[in-house]
A = this chain, B = another copy of it.
């Protein structure tokens, strides 16, 4: 059987066909739910079809996963690391095909598609090293003949619910760490990126099979809200890692809390770049462009607010308007394209509504502001001059819309930066140490990512990724993020024959 378009044939190299089964359950591909389509956002035509999972598929998957987890958590961590290394190698072998698929199904430009898969590969390599460093502690006890240990043990099953905009990277952040930590993974990809869910899962499944490991260690569903809710409610899943909007994330958290489970949340951002009067404009302008227009403004780290010092306001704005006009819009797989389509028709509609709201709140369109009349969900990259007090700037409009505001002092700029409910990413452009260190200190940005002279987006995996406030507080990828995927026990072992009590208490 062939794909509708000849240039989709490459998908066969990564295990995809025109019809695909949409869940990987106990090592078997199946799909007993409705048939759904994967759609190309550049033309809104079907790429391929998927037999989605039913809730019975889900139940079957989790049951198998519970059993597989018992085996997996007993395998020594460095051996688990070896499997993750093999996953990295398997991804490396398919890097370009996967990158191409990302570009096709999400709509992001090819360089970003490949970069995203590279990020998962980097995560694999990082996790391999980590597999020998999931260190607990030996802590001095105040009691003689007592040994105090802080142990880190696997949680069990980690549920991972990812969004359309980073369908690979976010899985990579979670799964690589979760797996070396000894957890099984249950993945629900975004409903609009089922082919990526399937392709990634096939690669991982291949490694498990080659090593005679139970496939149920990695269980995947191309499902929608029903599967997501099942995961949130499922007390067999101690940790749910969710990426999405603050609104949905809060619902997930409340549901998971109700059963005393844990959440790791990566929710909405509303990220500002501050440009000080002493900034290097040559560095700042392309940074803003990448941060605001990259991925069509559909990153959680997309720059949505640009705070310009009054003394350079006009100059920078003019430069940006100029640059925006030259942005090449079109097929994201084509060389030179910087701006592809929005992901869905609904996103495009949302853009239209957003622009109306902006105007109604006094926003002045400096450039862009319209949809593009062609097939696919294309819109213009847009700059809006607006007051920081407008309500609309407190919200995340998921598209290439940048709000520009003016400030007079550093303190004012920081106050505006911190004045929104979200707390993901933030950047400042300056060359003054006193500003840099204030910005990253107690009275600076209140975000989880605090940059200087680089855009709000484009994090490295070695650091912890995530944000504060309505962004949800989770941290993924590097640093000690792995601790969230394990449970900590404070263990005190008395190997003597007496019973001294802490704080010198004498009882009886």
Contact = CB atoms under 8 A, between A and B. Distances in A.
A34 interface: no
A485 interface: no
Residue from A75, A78, A182 with most neighbouring chain B CB atoms (10 Å) = A78
B138 A138 contact: yes
Nearest to A435: B495
A432 interface: yes
Contacts of A493: 433, 436-437, 440, 451-453
* Shortest 8 CB-CB contacts between residues of A and residues of B: A129-B129, A136-B138, A132-B462, A77-B140, A453-B494, A463-B490, A78-B142, A115-B505
Contact of A150 (B262, B446, B463): B463
10 contacts: A77-B142, A85-B125, A139-B463, A140-B462, A150-B464, A151-B450, A153-B441, A254-B254, A280-B497, A440-B489
A357 B112 CA distance: 63
Given A445-B489, A460-B148, A137 B479 contact: yes
Given A461-B132, A463-B139, A491-B451, A508 B115 contact: no
A403 interface: no
Contacts of A447: 489
Interface of A: 70, 73-79, 81, 85, 111-112, 115-116, 118-119, 122, 125-154, 182, 246, 250, 253-254, 257-258, 260, 262, 280, 282-283, 286-287, 289-290, 294, 338, 421, 431-434, 436-438, 440-454, 458-465, 468-470, 472-473, 475, 478-479, 487-499, 501-508
Nearest to A496: B434
A interface, over-half SS: mixed
A151 B438 CA distance: 12
A282 B470 CA distance: 45
A442 B73 contact: yes
Given A140-B131, A260-B421, A449-B490, A458 B495 contact: no
Given A250-B258, A491-B452, A128 B131 contact: no
Contact of A442 (B74, B257, B441, B443): B74
A242 B143 CA distance: 29
Residue from A140, A433, A441 with most neighbouring chain B CB atoms (10 Å) = A140
A280 B112 CA distance: 44
A138 B139 contact: no
A76 B132 contact: no
Contact of A489 (B118, B250, B448): B448
Given A126-B132, A246-B260, 12 more contacts: A74-B144, A76-B144, A111-B505, A145-B437, A286-B507, A287-B499, A290-B507, A433-B433, A448-B487, A454-B492, A459-B490, A460-B502
Given A129-B133, A463-B148, A436 B495 contact: yes
Contacts of A445: 489
A462 B453 CA distance: 30
B453 A115 contact: no
A462 B78 contact: yes
Residue from A453, A487, A494 with most neighbouring chain B CB atoms (10 Å) = A494
Contacts of A488: 448, 464, 475, 479
A133 B111 CA distance: 27
Contact of A76 (B140, B250, B458): B140
A78 to B, nearest CB: 4
B449 A489 contact: yes
A470 B76 CA distance: 29
Contacts of A127: 129
Nearest to A130: B129
